[in-house]
Amino acid sequence: MAEADFQVWVSAHQSHFEIQLRQLLPRSDTVPQRLHAAMRYSVLDGGKRVRPLLAFAAGELAQANEARLNIVAAAVELIHAYSLVHDDMPCMDDDVLRRGKPTCHVEYDEATALLVGDALQSLAFQLLAEHTLNDNPVQQLQMIRLLAVATGSRGMAGGQAIDLDSVGKNLSVPELELMHIHKTGALIRAAVMLGARCSSALTEESLKHLDHFGKCVGLAFQVVDDVLDNEADTATLGKTAGKDAQRDKPTYVTLLGVQAAKKMASELHAEALDTLANFGQPAHRLHQLADFILTRKF
Ligand code: GRG
């Protein structure tokens, strides 16, 4: 019953969010048409939308306004889509399949893929700057800063730099954790915090709990991703499976083995749920999303 209710909530938010994204992205019949078409190709009709769902769930906990949540969720998803487009390019992971379809540089070309990433990132910050996200403008500036830090060299881009540098190397578990907290974790953590900060209802202490929850599920997401890269097939994932081993990249699976990696994901999940206990029932969607992050098969 609870599972069915969660599926209804997920589907309703995913379809509603898809409509929002369609409206927020530039139309493909406006100049420059090819770039706009490639941006829409890279963002629409695909992906689990985990980060937007986390923003919506954290926002519901904070009783935030839905219109504001749509904007922060879109900004985070645009940053995520940009990172996937750039990550797939020949100068980085060099992949041909993403979300079950040809990657952006394959469908279009490399220069277009580069520009798609650039333009999606700019659009994310444009949205945060042109919509009201919090009654207090100082708080809103803090939110824009939060996403900027999570995206830049002290967040996702920095994690990607460490990742590219790690190919063929033996990292320690703490080094791997540092890389993934930045590369994957920072944006997931930002999604939770941006959703919560769309209202001023939560105390600083509650925000700290949520931030810790975001940190735990962000890292758990990556540990599970490493396990799936090792265990799942390309058709299920919608992206090339076994890529990490192929590129000789250190992962939780190569460092710890599959069983220990799964145990680590479970421990992070348990820590995330412990943190949510501070909120009780109003945090049930975040609880369900943490369960999904642990048990996902794609
Ligand atoms: C290029 C600056 C820059 C950063 C790229 C996030 C990232 C950094 C690269 C993506 C490579 C990758 C497979 C990372 C592992 C975790 C991850 C982010 C998986 C993809 O996210 P999902 O599973 O994808 O949420 P969907 O398609 O469902 O949105």
Ligand 1 site, residue 36, Cβ cutoff 6 A: no
What is the structure's pLDDT at 242?
Answer: 85
* Residue of 63, 58, 171, 41 lying closest to 119 (CA atoms): 41
What is the structure's pLDDT at 88?
Answer: 98
pLDDT in tens, 173-208: 999 999 999 999 999 999 999 999 999 999 999 999
User: Which residue is listed with tokens 């923003």?
Assistant: 55
Q: What domains are there in the chain, each with its CATH number?
A: 2-295 (1.10.600.10)
Task: Report d(CA 285, CA 281) in Å as an integer.
Answer: 9
* CA of 5 relative to ligand 1 center, distance in Å: 27
**Position 124 pLDDT exceeds 70:** yes
pLDDT in tens, 68-95: 999 999 999 999 999 999 999 999 999 9
User: What pTM did the predictor assign?
Assistant: 0.97
- Mean pLDDT for the chain? 96
What is the structure's pLDDT at 1?
Answer: 62
Task: Report d(CA 283, CA 61) in Å as an integer.
Answer: 6
What residue's CA is closest to ligand 1, atom 19?
225
Give residue 131's pLDDT band: very low, low, confident or very high (50, 70, 90).
very high
Ligand 1 site, residue 157, Cβ cutoff 6 A: yes
Q: Looking at the DSSP assignment, which residues form a beta bridge with residue 98?
A: 101
Q: Which of 103, 225, 243 to mutate to test the pocket of ligand 1 (most atoms within 8 A of CB)?
A: 225
What is the structure's pLDDT at 13?
Answer: 98
